[in-house]
With several copies, the nearest count.
Chain A
Amino acid sequence: MSGADEPGPTDPQTHGASPAQAEMPFAVVDGQPITVLPRDLYIPPQALEVFLEAFEGPLDMLLYLIRRQNLDILDIPIAEITRQYMRYIELMQVLQLELAGEYLVMAATLAEVKSRMLLPRVRSDESPDEADPRAELVRRLQEYERFKRAAEGLDRMPRLERDTWVAAADLAGRKVTRLPPQVTLPEMLLAFQEVLARSDMFAHHHVQREALSVRQRMTDVLAALETREFVDFVRLFRAEEGRLGVTVTFIALLELLREGLIEIQQSELYGPLHVRRGDGRSAAPTGAQDAANEDNLRAQNE
């Protein structure tokens, strides 16, 4: 450090910012900062191409010209910026770079703003912005800069495969769980309706109400008689079900008896009844064929 007022050579911040309005050096040749492009090209054309292609359009280029000189975007010295902009355009043309039409449109816009700046300004208090010919250009530059910065922000965000990776562990012999299909009640009922329509049992069916509670009870009684042990007849009834429940159980027992699925024994007259699963000696149908016939018959009877 040589002194307080002499900025250190390693301090780029003070180095670049000291003469506020001076152009940033465009290049440094033999230690001499070059701020104005000489007429003769001193930079290899290829390097310049890369340089110029780095712009994302005329707004980006204008923004560069403004920022390079630490100018405030809201108070652009339009004449000077226009001059510099045109110099780049000429350069791009000399290099025969593919010059997008937008660059020329911007050149025309700048020329127009410049000429309007030369006219005496009428400032109205109501709409001061409209009075400044640069207003629209400034608005566009600001808007573009917002998204230019947003893009930079986006690029800085930690993203997969660059800053982070999904942590994963192997699952050897992974198997797929198969979910059982879903069924709705209407679907099943429609299926049943179709069976009924196909078989003739529907046509012969005369009874209004299918005693489904009896069928359920038949299943329940059979389940209760799982072993071939005798069960007390009365134990198959549940008093809390009331008269209807008792009747349903009784009918179910009669039906099971008729089908030979259970047998009822009474060891003495007026003695307690015992129920157990049938053992085949009852008057049961003697084959699937018969059983099916029986079913049809029953359907007719019900």
Chain B
Amino acid sequence: MNEEYVKYVVEAALLAAGRPLGLDDLTGVFDERDGVDAAAVRAAIDALRADYANRAIQLIEVASGFRVQIRPAFAEPVSKLWVERPAKYSRALLETLALVAYRQPITRGEIEQIRGVAVNPHIVKTLLERNWIRVVGHRDVPGKPELLGTTREFLDYFGLKKLDDLPTLAQLRELEDLRVQLSLPGADAAEIAEPAGAEAPAAPTTPTDAAEAG
């Protein structure tokens, strides 16, 4: 089968589908007689990636497959197509989502424990409705609280292939480590404290600023 043909059909399929496509979906598009296998499709994907290198679109792999999307660097002009501003999510929602993502499976109680405040039921409802989180089971303790986890849609939405692709969580520093560090000059530039200078003024101000800072 002509490589160019395979490449262009793969491109057309990705653009027509409106959803991420797996290798199975993409090989399934070809006639069996054409003998286009997963390897040929992969080669086509790589070729398209190279074609798009300098363009405003890009081909990425997310949890449910491959998709073509607008390169985030071009978000500014493209976003002008829509009058409405994209949804901003509150810190409370993002913190809850982050806890579910990094600590799953996790109960509401455990989220409350870490955040130090009650979980707003609206937030959990919103996350469930957006299909970013789901109930994955129940913890075997009195009350059988629901265990929450993230979904494939969550990964797709944030352009991730797997959970491991999330930025790594900062490490906890031990109280004792610090006493040692503090005795050394310049030791206060440890990881958590690192953006402290920028953090202090940015944190409170107004809710709008807080959201933008995030």
Are chains A and B touching in the complex at the 8 Å CB cutoff?
A: yes
B188 touches A295 (CB 8 A): no
- Interface residue? B54 (CB, 8 A): no
Of A154, A218, A284, chain B has the most CB atoms within 10 Å of the CB of A154
* Inter-chain contact B169/A288, CB cutoff 8 Å: no
Q: Are A189 and B98 in contact (CB under 8 A)?
A: yes
A173's nearest neighbour on chain B, judged by CB, is B75
B203 touches A67 (CB 8 A): yes
Distance A205 CA – B181 CA, assembled complex (angstroms): 23
Contact partner of A202 (CB less than 8 A), chosen from B113, B173, B203, B213, is: B173
Contact across chains for A154 and B101 when beta carbons are under 8 A apart: yes
In the bound complex, how far is the Cα of B98 from the Cα of A155, in angstroms?
A: 9
Contact of B172 among A143, A159, A292 (CB under 8 A): A143
Let me know if A17 is at the binding interface, CB within 8 A.
Answer: yes
Which residues of the partner chain B approach A59 to less than 8 Å between Cβ atoms? 115-117
Partner of B114, one of A134, A143, A282: A143
Chain A residues within an 8 Å CB radius of B89: 155, 181, 183
User: A13 — nearest CB in chain B belongs to which residue?
Assistant: B197
B125 at the interface (CB under 8 A from A): no
B142 within 8 A of A: yes
Tell me how far the C-beta of A71 lies from the nearest C-beta in chain B, rounded to whole angstroms: 9
Pick the 5 closest A-B CB pairs, nearest first. Answer: A292-B113, A288-B109, A192-B98, A219-B149, A57-B117
CB-defined contacts of A190 to chain B, threshold 8 Å: 94, 175, 178-179, 184
B67 touches A171 (CB 8 A): no
Can you list 24 A-B contacts with CB-CB less than 8 angstroms, sorted by A residue number? A16-B200, A50-B206, A67-B196, A70-B200, A128-B175, A129-B174, A143-B114, A151-B214, A152-B94, A153-B167, A155-B89, A169-B67, A172-B70, A179-B85, A186-B184, A187-B189, A189-B98, A190-B94, A190-B179, A191-B98, A212-B102, A286-B141, A288-B143, A291-B113
Question: Can you list, as one digit per residue, whether each of A159-173 has a CB less than 8 Å from chain B (1) or not (0)?
Answer: 111111111111111
Residues of B72-131 contacting chain A, CB below 8 A: 72, 75, 78-80, 82-89, 91-92, 94-95, 97-99, 101-107, 109-110, 112-118, 130
Bitwise, B49-83 to A at CB < 8 A (1) or not (0) is: 00000000100000000011111100100111011
**Interchain CA distance A192-B98 in the complex, whole Å:** 5
Does residue A235 face the partner (Cβ distance < 8 Å to B)? no
B210 and A179 contacting across the interface, CB-CB below 8 Å: yes
Pair B147/A157 contact, Cβ less than 8 Å: no
Question: Given A17-B197, A199-B116, A201-B114, is A159 in contact with B18 using a C-beta cutoff of 8 Å?
Answer: no
Cβ of A80 within 8 Å of any chain B Cβ, yes or no, is no
Q: Contact flags (1/0) for A199-224 with B, using CB distance below 8 Å?
A: 10110010111101101101100110
Q: Quick one: given A60-B116, A159-B159, A192-B172, are A147 and B84 in contact (CB under 8 Å)?
A: no
Q: Which residues of A lie under 8 Å from residue B22 when comparing CB positions?
A: none
A148 at the interface (CB under 8 A from B): yes
- Asked if A291 and B139 sit within 8 Å, CB to CB, the answer is yes
Given the contacts A73-B192, A194-B95, A216 and B163 also touching, CB distance less than 8 Å: yes
Which A261-302 residues sit within 8 Å CB-CB of chain B? 261, 277-280, 282, 284-293, 295-296
Pick from B12, B94, B95, B113: contact of A295, CB below 8 A: B113
Chain B residues, Cβ within 8 Å of A63: 203
A168 & B197 in contact (Cβ 8 Å cutoff): no
Q: Say whether A39 faces chain B, with CB atoms less than 8 Å apart.
A: no
